[in-house]
Amino acid sequence: MGRKVTVATCSLNQWSLDFEGNYERILKSIEIAKTHQAKYRLGPELEICGYGCADHFYESDTLLHSFQVLRKLLESPVTQDIICDVGMPIMHQNVRYNCRVLFLNRKILLIRPKMLMANQGIYRELRWFSPWNLNVEEYFLPRIIQEVTGQDTVPFGDCVLSTKDTCIGTEICAELWNPRSPHVNMGLDGVEIFTNSSASHHELRKANQRVDLIKSATTKSGGIYLYANQRGCDGDRVYYDGCAMVAINGDVVARGAQFSLGDVEVVTATVDLEDVFKCPYSSIRLFSDRVSEHKPCRRVRVDFSLSACDDVYLPTHQPIIWNFHTPEEEISLGPACWLWDYLRRSGQTGFLLPLSGGVDSSSTACIVHSMCVLLCQAVKDSNTQVLSDIRRVVGDDSYCPQEARELCGRIFTTCYMASENSSSETQNRAKDLACQIGSTHLNINIDMAVKGILGIFTMVTGMCPRFRVNGGSHRENLALQNIQARVRMVLAYLFAQLSLWASGRPGGLLVLGSANVDESLTGYFTKYDCSSADINPIGGISKTDLKSFLLYCTERFQLTALTRILASPPTAELEPLTDGQVSQTDEADMGMTYSELSMIGRLRKISKCGPFSMFCKLIHIWKDLLSPMEVAQKVKHFFRMYSVNRHKMTTVTPSYHAEGYSPDDNRFDHRPFLYNTLWTWQFRCIDNQVEISVLCVNIT
């Protein structure tokens, strides 16, 4: 028959500007693809330089080194006899483009620039690249490429590749998510194989959207869809979550892992091109001239076949069921992989976490424990790269971890920082959890440092501040809480730098933070306290999801200490105890529950609501719980807190991006940090609406 083709796609853990490592991972993926008899290899978006180069894309060095890597790939014998599809930035007529370069046997076949850019959420592609909106032009290759290929120019633009047995069209990442996706027009013009090279980041509950889009791309008119994605932390707040896959006629037939510690994962599939025409809706192609005035695709011909002549007995891949991770599993896997990438690439030797015995810091501790579980499993699965990285991190070339608790003790230090306002209950909870996960645990009392700082203030001013319960003012009460919180940050960094030195071990520790997304949203934390750390794996996760995650960890990792932590009300323990018991709780301090905060956060960011439109939505969402006047009070209280504390987001610890309503102002949530906190006009609109609702009630 000669119509069965074997194709390969991959997930690569690329690192921005790591040209040497990126080259090796690309070459390795091509080598693996060839061992599976693949004739086409697809890689992630901008894989040569790394997707997250940001303003380094402005630098001519980035363009130069990308071409140098491309030359090495062209020259390598590994890339012979397989069509290679790689991503890199290219300057054409003094304009930068995000491009795919397709080559075969030391010849560049075509360069396809991205046409529809990702410029929402965390993405800012229009800052560095221009979208291509022309047809096809000739691109003059740089001299270092001409010397290898013997070509002066190659096609550059919106074109497809026509082999002797099929036609292949390219999409790049966001083009799949766009209502004007190129695959629609290409499918109507007879393209059979669609490829998508992505740098798509992880968000909780997002994976099914991606899979549904890919399946739908070939459901209507038939076709084969290859999806490649980056994986891992490439130097920023996001984690790219793999999921490389191959689909045909709306069915996924091969897939890779969403989360993995492996640097290179190749997914291959053998599919029958004849099946494309057996798609129930493929007859649409026959009437394409009538149903759509589609634009004919410019075809670049290549004397090469993806199929062999005699393939009757070659088995094809059959549809599989995609089982998605639960949000709790996603939290245990995504941030854990992100932490490992950060640790091994930072050159540090472990983590230090201030462990308070509450939900947030316990969640961070459990994520580190999950990381250790994944590492031990990878070692058991003979992942030599992971074992090599572990040995380098712990500084022992002969070390081989046997179980997670043992590894945790080597790379993870936790510390409970007690004050006179701390309860024995939280101290015991922290100690028990540390014991169960295996971390090196320290008990530190901060009272001496706090009294020393207050002594300096008293010596200079002659005044001694008091807590509110002792007759002090609100200002005094807040200042005394902040002193404790900030002392903890200073001590955390001190012990991170010197605790290994004190025990005769080399290296330093990365300080982990544990402020959740809801607390960041309202500013319910002290600026430069323990929320100030090197990185924060839970900074993009809601309190509600964290509680569910800890419940999952209780069963998954048999961490029974979490039961008491979940049963206890969240508290900062910064005010004096009452009869030895905690009198301060987070939700009482904030004036709203964490579930209410989560809803408000989603409306503010995802639904793009200001105070008035949020009120208008919430009076319906909460109609069975709160009156319009109570909703108004909640909304106004939130926006006052939010605007007063927004300045804290300018110094917030870099956090794992996991939620669509994250307030991170680095790349995701761009807002001012100096507000008119009275919101006079907006709040007056709310008050007017409340008055109308009261009148309506009185009339009825």
The tens digit of pLDDT for each residue in 376-434 reads 999 999 999 999 999 999 999 999 999 999 999 999 999 999 999 888 999 999 999 99
Mean pLDDT of 195-209: 95
Which CATH number fits the domain 4-301, given the four candidates 3.40.190.10, 3.60.110.10, 3.30.70.420, 3.10.310.30? 3.60.110.10
pLDDT band at 290 (very low <50, low <70, confident <90, very high): very low
Contact 145, 257 (CB under 8 A): no
- pLDDT bucket at 268, cuts 50 / 70 / 90: very high
- Give pLDDT tens digits for 175-186: 999 999 999 999
Q: How confident is the model at residue 311 (pLDDT cuts 50, 70, 90)?
A: confident
Q: What is the pLDDT of residue 397?
A: 95
* C-alpha to C-alpha distance for 128 and 16, rounded to whole angstroms: 15
φ/ψ of 567, rounded to 5, equals -80, -10
- What residues contact 521, with CB distance under 8 A and at least 6 apart? 597, 600, 601, 604, 642, 661, 663
Residue of 356, 419, 520, 531 marked active site: 356
pLDDT confidence band for 2 (50 / 70 / 90): low
527 is catalytic: no
Catalytic residue among 114, 215, 543, 547: 114
Q: Does residue 425 have an active-site annotation? A: no
Cα–Cα nearest to 359, from 542, 205, 595, 489: 542
Half-sphere exposure of 617 (CA within 13 A, CB side): 15
Q: How many CA atoms lie within 13 A of 129 on its CB side?
A: 25
- 3 state SS of 28: helix
Q: What whole-number percentage of the chain has pLDDT above 90?
A: 82
pLDDT-based confidence at residue 372 (cuts at 50, 70, 90): very high
Mean pLDDT, range 489-495, rounded to an integer: 96
Q: Answer yes or no: is pLDDT of 295 > 90.
A: no
DSSP letter for 201, please: B
Task: Return the closest-CA partner of residue 362 out of 443, 417, 434.
Answer: 434
Q: Is 356 a catalytic residue?
A: yes
Taking a C-beta distance cutoff of 8 angstroms, is the pair 260, 233 a contact?
Answer: no
Mean of pLDDT over the chain: 92
Query: Residue 246 region, left (φ>0) first, then alpha (ψ -120 to 50), else beta?
Result: beta
Cα dihedral sign, 63-64-69-74? positive
Q: Is the pLDDT of residue 332 over 60?
A: yes
Whether residue 609 is predicted with pLDDT greater than 60 in this model: the reply is yes
Regarding pTM above 0.95, the answer is no
SS3 assignment, position 111:
strand
Of 159, 173, 233, 337, which is the active-site residue? 173
DSSP 650: G
Cα 332 from Cα 368, distance rounded (Å): 9
Q: Hey, is 42 helix, strand or coil?
A: strand
State mean pLDDT over 339-354.
97
Q: What is the mean pLDDT of residues 23-29?
A: 98
Kindly report the CATH number that applies to the domain delimited by 327-445+491-571. 3.40.50.620
- Mean pLDDT for the stretch of residues 133-162: 96
pLDDT for 521 beyond 90:
no
Provide the 3-class DSSP secondary structure of residue 316.
Answer: coil
Catalytic annotation, pick one of 4, 29, 39, 45:
45
pLDDT higher than 70, residue 577 = no
**Reported confidence tier of residue 308, pLDDT bands at 50, 70, 90:** confident
Q: Which of 132, 171, 178 is nearest to 155 (CA)?
A: 132
pLDDT at 426: 92
Question: What's the rounded mean pLDDT across residues 581-604?
Answer: 82
Two tokens, residue 517:
């997304």
Residue 652 pLDDT level (bands cut at 50, 70, 90): confident
- Given the structure tokens 């939620």, which residue do they identify? 659
Does 114 qualify as catalytic in the annotation? yes
Q: Where are the domains of the chain?
A: 4-301, 327-445+491-571, 591-699
Is the pLDDT score of 64 beyond 60? yes
Identical fold, 4-301 and 327-445+491-571: no
pLDDT at 626 over 50: yes
Give, for 553, the enclosing helix (H) or strand (E): helix 543-556
Residue 572: its pLDDT value, please? 62
Q: How far apart are the first and last CA of the chain?
A: 78
- In this prediction, residues 115-125 reach a mean pLDDT of 93
Q: Give a three-class secondary structure readout of 206-244.
A: CHHHHHHHHHHHCCCCCCEEEEEEEEECCCCCCCEECCC
